[in-house]
Amino acid sequence: MITYPQGFRASGVTAGLKASGKPDMALVVNDGPDHVAAGVFTTNRVVAWPVTWSRQAVADGRLAAVVLNSGNANVATPGGMAITEATARAVAAALSCEPRDVGVCSTGVIGTMLTADPLVAGVEMAVPLLSSEGSSAAAEAIMTTDTRKKEATFEAGFRIGGMAKGAGMIAPGMATMLCVITTDAVIDADEANEALAAATSHTFNRIDVDGCMSTNDTVLLLASGASGIAPDPAVFREGLTAVCADLARQMIADAEGASHDILITVTNSATEAGALAVARAVAQSNLFKCAVFGNDPNWGRIISAAGTVPEAVAPFDPADLAVIINGVAVAEHGVDTGRRDEVDMAANREVTVEIQLGSGNESAHIWTNDLTYDYVTENSAYTT
């Protein structure tokens, strides 16, 4: 709901990048009065040209618009930077702003050829359709293997709205995701940056569908100041985090081929970082994820994944480990409790796993999904 805050217009159109003929370009415009912006990007060293462009564009804390396309990720494409720049220039010309005030995001297949023509033509279609009712069309146009659009809102006098896409290649650093968040709060660029970094680290950075870090991940925050309200920074962060958490949870619920959403919580850890490392190790175990698909509370695969984390990262004694699946303690003091058969995993999509390390009071969680036939299907036939 990126047009939920005051001062924003959006549209979504079909530029012809998707073979399916579905909408594939979204435009989001900040009509001000402020044009404050912040961004968070993939930590992958191989990045899409639009990531390189948008990092530079947002570096001065200012954006007037964001253009997003699905259907082609514009990674490793010959001439890809010129294509990105042409897209930004087309937006800038139509909106009478500077090209460097236009963020560009792309998602879709990596490494297939692309020209600027459909992107520029798409911009020309999208500009006249810009509207304060356009959030839904924009959210739809950025979908790839997503089966539904992902939107969220927050209100506390001022408003925050967000849209996101992401269903696969969702991993450690951040998801293969594009996300645009808008707000009509009055905030400065430093505050926007700090709030966005804090919010993403506890939301988008805590989901892991398949351990595969993307080349295109981008989260952009645009602030129009149109509400005239300068919120308490803590309230703003809380709202921003709630919107990001909502969108992240929607991504897990729509993850490629998944039949279960899995919340892995690691507790009684000496440090939060250690808890997070153990949670990530479990979330990235294909054997564990296959077991969940089979509704099998195979906790041996949980502790064997936990045991791959170096002691320096997460100090714990394997003899102290406890594992609780959907509320049933299947292992205590490092050994089997014989209660495996009490665990019912088939009843609900959501599965909870708690791992108690017995070495402190810190905790962390990761959301992930099971590994299914449908995941293999989607990812073995994606480009062919």
Site for a copy of itself, rule CB under 8 A = 44-47, 73, 75-78, 80, 109-113, 168-169, 172-173, 210-215, 284-287, 290-291, 293-296, 298-301, 303-311, 318, 321, 331, 334-336, 338, 371-373, 375-384
343 token code pair: 């665990």
Least distance CB 147 / a copy of itself (angstroms): 18
Binding site annotation covers 352? no
Binding site annotation covers 74? no
Least distance CB 131 / a copy of itself (angstroms): 35
Which is closer to a copy of itself, CB of 47 or CB of 251?
A: 47
Query: How does DSSP assign 297-340, residue by residue?
Result: --HHHHHHHHTTS-TTTS---GGG-EEEETTEEEEETTEE-S-G
Which is closer to a copy of itself, CB of 194 or CB of 320?
A: 320
Which is closer to a copy of itself, CB of 44 or CB of 250?
A: 44
Residue pair 139/149 in contact (Cβ under 8 Å)? The answer is yes
Least distance CB 340 / a copy of itself (angstroms): 8
Q: Give catalytic status of residue 337 as yes or no.
A: no
Which is closer to a copy of itself, CB of 273 or CB of 335?
A: 335
Binding site annotation covers 145? no
Q: Please report, as a single letter, which amino acid is at residue 254.
A: D
Least distance CB 188 / a copy of itself (angstroms): 32
Binding site annotation covers 14? no
Which is closer to a copy of itself, CB of 196 or CB of 305?
A: 305
Beta bridge partners of 8: 30
Binding site annotation covers 200? no
106 CB-near residues (< 8 Å, 6+ apart) = 48, 49, 50, 68, 69, 70, 72, 73, 74, 84, 216
341 CB-near residues (< 8 Å, 6+ apart) = none
Binding site annotation covers 144? yes
Instruction: Cis check for the bond before 99: say yes or no (omega within 30 of 0).
Output: no
Catalytic residue among 3, 77, 87, 176: 176
For 228-242, b/e burial (b = at least 16 CB within 10 A) is ebebeeeebbbbbbb
In angstroms, the CA 155 to CA 235 distance is 10
In angstroms, the CA 368 to CA 252 distance is 7
- Residues tagged in the binding site annotation for substrate: 144, 165, 176, 256, 379, 384
- Residues tagged in the binding site annotation: 144, 165, 176, 256, 379, 384
Catalytic residues: 176
